[in-house]
Structure 1
Amino acid sequence: MILEVALLQVKPGLEQEYEESFRKASTIISSMKGYISHELQRCMEVNGKYLLTVKWESLEDHTVGFRQSSEYQEWKELLHHFYHPFPTVEHFEKINL
């Protein structure tokens, strides 16, 4: 399992519209092969700042299966225009201690 993490900054004044669009976009990502779960959290200190985490079965399920799909084009259309600056997405793997 890998964890996709993105710190998102939404343009001022568009937070409510963004959250509504994200609800729609959630059905897209949750239907993808290798998807496990996701959460979107709103920052309490900074307006318009969100944390998105998505659990995938493998890195390729996200980077190839999702990002190279037609569904990703719909995801982009729903969400990408809200971000400034555009977010960096990183992937993490659990360390067994």
Structure 2
Amino acid sequence: MSDSPVLEVAQLEVLPGSEAAFEAAIAQAFVFLQQTEGYRQHQLQRCLEHPQQYLLLIQWGSLNAHLVNFRQSENFVRWRALIGPYFAQPPQVLHYQLLTGSP
């Protein structure tokens, strides 16, 4: 597994009418990301055309920081317990590595 920084991109779709409750729940859940070794920062964006769809971007110090430090921890269990009930379907999660860009 990679030891270089990665960007986790999660596409989330919530149940119709649950957007406000989901946003409140995930705001509380972010503390569990922030307590995880290797976490760097995150962004949550909401789709304008489809308000039940969200894009969650999380920067990790490495792929292991996400897959091991977070996904195999009690922080993930707590995270999922807060936000999982709002999902209309399982999130699609992919990992990206920066090839080029500007600061």
TM-score normalized with structure 2 length: 0.90
Q: What amino acid does structure 1 have at the position aligned with 2:62?
A: S
The residue aligned with 1:53 is 57
Aligned alpha-carbon RMSD (Å): 1.0
The question of 1:27 aligning with 2:58 is answered no
Deviation at 1:79, TM superposition (A): 0.7
Structure 2: state its 5+ residue gaps: none
Q: Distance in 1 between matches of 2:51 and 2:24?
A: 16
What does residue 47 of structure 2 align with?
Answer: 43
Deviation at 1:16, TM superposition (A): 0.2
Alignment correspondent of 1:88: 92
Match of 2:70 in 1: 66
Among the aligned pairs, what percent are the same residue? 37
Aligned-partner Cα distance in 1 for 2:69–2:75:
10
- How far does the alpha carbon of each residue in 1:17-76 deviate from its partner, in whole angstroms, 9 at most, with x for none? 000001100111011100000000011110211000000000000001100001111001
Identify the residue that residue 12 of structure 1 maps to in structure 2: 16
Segments of structure 1 that go 5 or more residues without pairing to the other structure are: none
Distance in 2 of aligned mates of 1:91 and 1:29: 16
CA distance, structure 1, for counterparts of residue 33 and residue 100 of structure 2: 27
TM-score by length of 1: 0.96
